[in-house]
Structure 1
């Protein structure tokens, strides 16, 4: 069992939450599948307590549904095993209110386990936990931050059925100019961003800076780095769901599609990674802008394995439309210092901040 991901939330966590929030009685239990889609059940308060006691049975086929929610029968996890139940168990620190859902709404994340308590080998979080365990065995701790680009789009389609960027509340005109880093573009959607930051504060998500990106209606916000890769990824999962929900509450629609517009920039997920030793020192830190030998070895490993990872980095047909020369989406397994055209970028900054920005993933990963 992974020592990292195999940690199950204790009943006392749920008891403390409901003591502080006795009115909450509509709670969503969320498992995130390979396609990044949240799936699960909506429960009452007393049902949640039972999950924290002994887990909740759920069909194992949910681990292998496709992006449309259809069973992938070729896996052998549907008819061959009778779509047998596995157990969902709560992830620590994820039971939080969902402000967009009303005054009595909350959510928590879950992991999948076999009935004997073994972590399910197709649960993405358990796979990550196994990787972290290998770092831990070597006395190392990955430090991770996630940046996600997304579009705000008009929920009403154009006459031809196509998507169009969201319009500010004061205007009937669809934005057409790129306006990268434009502050007016942030001001145009201030109610959305104000509600977004307020909701992330409620859920204790470390959301920081926001920018207008390289297309009309495209934005990027940053989640603060932390020396807990599992929690950083949990934050990103919760954040994506929150963005979509807040957008809907504001009469907008948010999409993390890799390429929603053929002639505009694609949306990426940029993962910033460094590694600390047992003393909390960044092993990539160096006065040399190219970092330490450990950093260059790490980049070599990433380059050597990037092709094998594309089923995860670009999981859908639309994902591949993002990769286009001169579009800020990398098209070759390259690296460089202070260079946004490469797959693995070493950002400029002081020596203690030296790290890799992994730029291959789409926002749909």
Structure 2
């Protein structure tokens, strides 16, 4: 196990950790006191770290008998008002999809972390971004959405984990961190910023015992006239509020760009190297990086291409998934092209460099 952050000397001091370990310690810093999971590469450092650290904070760690059991244990802990999380990698997240639908339908806050690997099927253990559709379109049944964050470095693995717990409580909704094996296994220095708890609604809905109040009921079965429709409309209003308030993105060198590269997570890091090299050579190239994949930063991307027939190159570690949201956002205002490698194959900066020069 890597370096542990238990007694941080200074909020501004940097530490060196793996991305997986940063997520685990950030979760504890944010007040997570229940973790249930099941081993799968390349996210195993998260449960390993949690198994050692949870006793230090009087938390609960459970290695469940399966991924399905783990997500339902999280459902139970979240229903009791505890900050709860699980983590897995692509095939394991697939097994959790029914539980995610139940969490969303019951309006329960929880954190789910997906450290993606190559697929489909068992695939391999290399980093991939092939779970984009599953994450942002809803891999389980019913009309539901998750707030989805896509970190691109270990600093964001830390910061977005703490933010995810706060937003889960604010909206009473599961939040997903969509990272990959590259970020999970990578070590780099970062600043372990302390968690500052925002003002959040009291969990008056939680199942904490009803000695001095009426019983609470948490359910996903709504059989009365229009009861389920009204429940869904209520949730849709919540998702619309997320779109209005929670959209995040980063734009680099885009003010005068003729070609905008759109990429998230690890692919954005790789693309940044190519964009920077081309900028030094005088090419007007920029980078657009969505940080929230749902809600997708449509307006920010549309603003970059409005007023001219620019080209947008979508770069992903898959066969082309985010490109659909890019096309929907741009709606014909620019030419949209794609470069990607599926199955856990790594893209090199020079590949993106060559692709941009070919379409410039």
Fold-level similarity (TM above 0.5): no
Q: Which has the higher contact order (CA 8 A, sep 6+)?
A: 2
Higher helix share: 2
TM-score bracket, shorter-length normalisation: under 0.3
